[in-house]
Amino acid sequence: MKYDPEVHHRRSIRLKGYDYTGEGAYFVTVCVQGRECLFGDVVDSAMELSKAGRMVEEWWSKLSGKFTGVEVDEFVIMPNHFHGIITIVGAPPCGCPPLSPCGCPNSMPGQSYGADEPRPGRPHGAEEPKPGRPHGAAPTLGDVMDWFKTMTTNAYIHGVKQSDWPPFPGRLWQRNYYERVIRNEDELADIREYIRSNPLRWADDEE
């Protein structure tokens, strides 16, 4: 089943009053526009990455080098989406009020997501980072995700032009990303296991 905006509508459910520059761990999900399967295939319940999938993995690994105080944890690249844990270092996972469900397919309940609207004047399909934060300011989760989506989009465009990768429909990633604040160590362990076992559930994924 392909993505249908009339069925799989998006709702912005940012957590009001939550400091996204704060210290803690976040479970994030990014989906390919139109649910196109561009990053590989699940074979015998294991993910086999395409060159594009390996590119996404490479840029994920660079997040810690790009952003001081940011570490990456468990992640999985699926054919048409990505799950990962990002930690802003310095404190244990932080508490927050319960989150509203967002209805993200193949995602854990209780997630919300943040909007990163496209900026005008960019090359077709490419994304740009938002204006830089003051020098020394802690990155927000939005800063991190904007950079990750921008770098992977630009690298994928290069792959389309230079290596005949399958073109994507208008943009590589959906405009929004899904997020969940991880509240404690037990929840962190559960989400790590959920990410590891994602390929096992691929056959049951309606998307």
Give pLDDT, residue 119: 32
Enter the pTM of the model.
Answer: 0.72
Using only C-alpha atoms, what is the Rg of the chain?
16
Give pLDDT, residue 155: 97
Give pLDDT, residue 115: 37
Higher local confidence (pLDDT), 19 or 157: 157
Angle between helices 51-61 and 141-163 (to 10 degrees): 150
Look at residue 201 and tell me whether its pLDDT is greater than 70: yes
Instruction: Count CB-CB contacts under 10 A for residue 161.
Output: 10
pLDDT in tens, 35-60: 999 999 999 999 999 999 999 999 99
Give pLDDT, residue 11: 41
Query: Pairing state of beta strands 24-31 and 176-182?
Result: antiparallel
Give pLDDT, residue 62: 96
> Which amino acid type is present at position 53?
G
Task: Determine the CATH number of domain 24-201.
Answer: 3.30.70.1290
